Chain A
Amino acid sequence: MSAALIAQVAIGGLLMGLVYALVAAGLSLIFGLMDVVNFAHGELLMLAMYATFVIHENSGLDPLLQLPLVAVILFALGVAIYRGLISRALDVRFNTGMVQIFVTFGLSIFLVGAAQLTFGSDFRSINDGFLSNRTASIGSVVLPLSQLAAGLVCLIAFAALVLMSRTEFGRALEATREDRDAVALIGIDRQRVFSIGWGIGAATVGIAGVMLANFYYISPTVGSNFALIAYVTVALGGFGSLLGALVAGLVVGLAEALTALVIDPSLKQIGIFAIYVLVLMVRPRGLFGRL
């Protein structure tokens, strides 16, 4: 096993880790804001990938150029999910925690079914985008351009998310997270903050979905795998922590790539899970989690 190969695999893993980090950031944002775990998070990713595919097929618009469009579509979808389902689940008077879990679970099953009905179970992929089949080489490390771009775009989106948390709205988010009842007294509309929070959470997944569609297969169940990794990433980094999501995403991406290289590709997720279980036992609130 040469050093070049290890470097190649490690950089590939870190780039994928940036995608995982962005997916996890959306999940973490929603959880931090209102204590709701979105079990349909992977299905939002799946929808973003299909949206990219369909727009590309019908208009020939390159996935890269679709970024703002799909992000807006997903934002609207996130707001709609909050308004239609989540706000109701939050108002329920019995078993609130359980209702939230099963409402988003039900939604994820519904969305998988809807995708299956619309697109069938076949795997799709985009092969003729601007980024397809191009590579970039750094020294002896050769990387597909699509993965490099995915890592970069996700990093930029991540930076935007951090900048947003410094704005007026970001402070409103933080205030609502601290005390969702008290914020009404200082003129913050809780419903509005929650819906926009869902919109942003979904839009970040949308961006990750567009970039993934450049090099990853698309199928109705593609989301479950990414969602699983997102849960591990968020639990690893600490729920509600953006920095935690970034660090954990990189760790997970690296662990996955190295496990695939050293042990076996079909066991690549075992490396992730092993780290998760270890953190679970040593530091249950995650690396950067607040108590």
Chain B
Amino acid sequence: MNLPFRPNAITRRRRRELLVGAVLLALLGLLPLPIGNVYLRGLIVLTLLYAGLSQGWNVLGGYCGQISLGHALYFGIGAYASTILFTRFGIPPTLGMFAGGVLAALAALLLGWPCFRLSGHYYAIATLVIGLMAELLVQNWGFVNAAMGVTIPFHTRSWVNLEFRVGVLPFHYVMLAYTAIAWIIAWLVEGSRWGFYWRAVKDDGTAAQSLAVRVFPSKMAAASISGAITGVGGALYAQYIGFIDPDSTLGLSLSVLIALPAVVGGVGTLWGPLIGAAVLIPLQQLSAAWLGGAGGGVDLMIYGALIVALALARPQGLVSLFGVRSRSGGEVADDV
């Protein structure tokens, strides 16, 4: 049945997106096989992780237009929940990551209550401050080993515990599954009633409200989905790295790194986070590895300059290079 707001053209495009997604998934599944270099494989794993994380950020920041600078909080909640459940209570991370996701979603709802009354920069700053507050608290929280962090001891190779000695190849498929699921969630919500509500809220909250869009519940829905995806990503990261501390799982730089792939690739687009992560994460990691050495600073300069240059040169995102249109609002993103 074709509803009036969902004409055939959109349905056709959404089917094509699924097809492209399936082909991409198959290609990414084969990608690590010819690559022997462990460092390079690790780089791909990280890129996949950030693609998924940023897809989660994009649900709230992109589709719904609420720019969060505190997503590391949800990442940290997922990472700490799964790790503490595993190291203290022996609950395997395959279950723990869902606990982390649920807790992160709850935190997103709890914070959404005061924060969604703020708009624009006020919201961005509130998320930033709350994120840093959480980092500060965890740094002083003895139960989770404060600023020292938690090391996840290696027991034995196990899919249930997501522990692998050589590590990288199984993790490639774990992260690929994560990114694929994040993508599918984004694809689903993009076409759902919520997706239309979010784009309306992003374009003009007042106008949306006058058309009977319930703005606050829409934002809360976006926040909980976004928080859950980010929390699960945090849990997977903890298992992949085997060590978490407040700085690496709750810091502001992580919040920025979660948002950036979507921003660079194309805010509020399905492919933006993937393209952004594919460009940004290898560049950031490689420049840090080559130029970052003791007190270098050159890597940060390149990273910062890159962000500035991409934001100014391609405000609509790299995705526009492929002629993809942003689905928010009436503006077409593939000219200029």
Interface residues, chain A, CB within 8 Å of chain B? 31, 35, 37, 85, 88-89, 92-99, 101-103, 105-118, 120-121, 220, 224, 228, 231-232, 234-235, 239, 264, 266-267, 269-270, 273, 276-277, 280-281, 284
Contact = CB atoms under 8 A, between A and B. Distances in A.
Contacts of A231: 125, 128-129
Contacts of A266: 139-140
B126 A95 contact: no
Interface stretch (B150-158, B180-188, B311-319): B311-319
Contacts of A224: 252
Contacts of A267: 136, 140
B316 A113 contact: no
A56 B60 CA distance: 48
B300 interface: yes
Nearest to B111: A277
Nearest to A114: B301
A102 B260 contact: yes
B22 interface: no
A216 B263 CA distance: 36
B267 to A, nearest CB: 6
A284 B303 contact: no
Contacts of A37: 121, 124-125
Interface string B241-272: 00000000000100010001001000100000
Interface in B202-228: none
A116 B300 contact: yes
B124 A239 contact: no
B267 A95 contact: yes
Contacts of B323: none
B301 A113 contact: yes
Nearest to A102: B311
A193 to B, nearest CB: 20
Nearest to A88: B312
B298 interface: yes
A95 B298 CA distance: 29
B130 interface: yes
Given A93-B331, A106-B305, 15 more contacts: A31-B121, A37-B125, A93-B336, A97-B120, A98-B267, A99-B312, A103-B307, A109-B300, A109-B303, A110-B308, A113-B302, A115-B297, A266-B139, A270-B137, A276-B129
* Majority DSSP secondary structure for residues of A touching B: helix
A105 B308 CA distance: 8
A268 to B, nearest CB: 10
15 contacts: A89-B312, A92-B315, A98-B67, A98-B267, A110-B301, A113-B303, A235-B122, A235-B125, A267-B136, A270-B137, A273-B130, A273-B133, A273-B136, A280-B114, A280-B115
Contacts of B305: 106, 110
B304 A113 contact: yes
Contact of A97 (B67, B118, B136, B299): B67
Interface in B120-148: 120-122, 124-126, 128-130, 132-133, 136-137, 139-140
B297 A93 contact: no
B43 interface: no
Contacts of A276: 129
A95 B318 CA distance: 13
A232 B306 CA distance: 28
Contacts of B256: 105
A114 B301 CA distance: 6
Contacts of B304: 106-113
A111 B140 CA distance: 29
B296 interface: yes
Contacts of A281: 114
B333 interface: yes
B330 interface: no
A97 B306 contact: no
B295 interface: yes
